[in-house]
Structure 1
């Protein structure tokens, strides 16, 4: 399982551990990923996703999964999230 957020595309970064003596050793900074189930109001069902804590706060801030996906860039989303976005937009156009 890759360490990449399904909604924001946030992944591992690399950097240095720096000791008091300024010795540098390479290290990885991993994103804070959580397994969550988010509800779609339009489709009326939940989706299990592996997203970062930052993405979870962003979804809450924008008013839910449907609104977050409507504003999200396609390049950042995973294949599953792109399919969800397409299904939600289809359902919203069929509703109107």
Structure 2
């Protein structure tokens, strides 16, 4: 399983461990990913996603999963999240 957020596209970045003596060794900074089930009001079901803690706060800030996905850029979303977004758009168009 890749360590990439399905909503924001955040992934691992590299940097240095710096000791007190200023010795530098390479390291990876991993995103804080969580497996969550978010409720879609339009689809009336839960969607399982692996997202970062920052993305979870953003979803809450924008007013839910549906509002977040409708505003999100397509290039940042994973294939799973894109399928959900298309379902939401289609369901809203039918209503």
User: Shorter chain as normaliser: what TM range?
Assistant: over 0.9
Equivalent residue, structure 1, for 2:33:
33
* RMSD of aligned Cα (Å): 0.3
TM-score, structure 1 as length reference:
0.98
Deviation at 1:65, TM superposition (A): 0.1
Gaps of 5+ in 2: none
TM-score, structure 2 as length reference:
0.99
Aligned residues: 95
State the distance in 2 between where 1:49 and 1:81 align. 8
Task: Give 3-state SS (helix, strand or coil) of 2:2's partner.
Answer: coil
1:10-42 deviation line (CA, Å, top 9, x unaligned)? 000000000111000000000000000000000
Task: Give 3-state SS (helix, strand or coil) of 2:68's partner.
Answer: helix
State the distance in 2 between where 1:48 and 1:69 align. 14
